[in-house]
Amino acid sequence: MERILDGAEDEFAARGFAGARLREIARSAGVQPALIHHYFADKQGLYAAVVRRAVDQMSTASWGVLSTKSDLEGIVRGFIDVMVDFSAAHRKLLSIMRSEILSGASDLVSVVRERSQPILDAIVDITLRLQEAEQVRVDIDPRDIVRAGLSLVLYPVVDAPVLEALLPEGLEGSESEQLARRKKVVSDLLLAAIRKPAK
């Protein structure tokens, strides 16, 4: 089953939903096309399973952060680490999701929302508690804080060609060094923006 999902993610990334072919996915996974129909019914079902698997991986890692971190810095750095790692591992899938959402693919939106909403709601609740504990500025809506964090992480991935065209310099180092630098910069910026100033 994982081989099918891996092959499907590659095929959807290369050709988009409309251009992806189940026969090609089956070939790359080393299975008969009938097996895809058996497990996923059709291309839409397979696509939803690919998206669900990716979002579930991110959700599991996010719940791990919530279960081990309780301070502002730990939570912010933990979630930024999870989101940057997720976006790096699923760069092509995020680009496909962006295209599909812009084209009005409501099925995809509902799958992503269904899987990610509980964790995003939990982050908003934690932000509210941190505001009540006077660790986070109260003049910013918690949902705007979450949106800002997601934007800082996701935009460089889904619109990488735009950023690379505008700012081609500064991308030196290995991919792991670039990711570590991005985690630090995004975490530092977000913490500086939301932390309640000392009196």
Domain residue ranges of the chain, discontinuous segments joined by +: 1-41, 51-194
Report yes or no: 25 and 50 within 8 Å, Cβ to Cβ.
Answer: no
| 90-99, 127-136, 140-149: least confidently modelled range | 90-99
Q: Which residue has the higher pLDDT, 128 or 19?
A: 128
Token pair in block for residue 66: 């919530």
For the chain, give the mean pLDDT: 87
More confident residue, 97 or 125: 125
As a whole number of angstroms, the distance between CA 193 and CA 146 comes to: 12
CATH architecture of 1-41: Orthogonal Bundle (1.10)
CA distance 111 to 105: 11
H helix or E strand, kind and range, residue 11: helix 2-19
Coil, helix or strand for 134? coil
Residue with the larger pLDDT of the pair 26 and 58: 26
Q: Are 105 and 45 in contact (CB under 8 A)?
A: no
Structure tokens at 192: 């500086």
pLDDT of residue 159: 79
CB count, 10 Å around CB of 182? 18
pLDDT at 148 over 90: yes
Mean pLDDT in residue range 97-110: 72
**Considering only CA atoms, which of 114, 116, 146, 111 is closest in space to residue 128?**
146
Q: How confident is the model at residue 98 (pLDDT cuts 50, 70, 90)?
A: confident
Highest mean pLDDT among 53-62, 84-93, 141-150: 141-150
Q: What is the 3-state composition of the chain as percent helix, strand, coil, each rounded to the nearest 5?
A: 80, 0, 20
Fold of 51-194: Tetracycline Repressor; domain 2 (1.10.357)
Q: Report the percent of the chain where pLDDT is more than 90.
A: 46
Residue 41 corresponds to which amino acid?
A
**One-letter identity of residue 92:** K
For residue 128, name the pLDDT band (cuts at 50, 70, 90): very high
Query: Do residues 183 and 81 touch, judged by C-beta distance below 8 A?
Result: yes
The amino acid occupying position 85 is: D
**For 32-78, what is each residue's pLDDT tens digit?**
989 999 999 999 899 888 888 888 888 889 999 989 988 999 999 99
The pTM score is 0.81
Give the C-alpha separation, 116 to 147, whole Å: 13
pLDDT at 197 over 70: yes
With 70 as the cut, is the pLDDT of residue 107 above it?
no
Higher pLDDT, 81 or 98: 81
**At residue 105, does pLDDT exceed 70?**
no
Contacts of 138 (CB under 8 A, 6+ apart): 131, 196
Q: What angle do CA 197, 118, 179 make, to 5 degrees?
A: 60
Residue 36: CB atoms within 10 A of its CB come to 22
On the question of a common fold for 1-41 and 51-194, the answer reads no
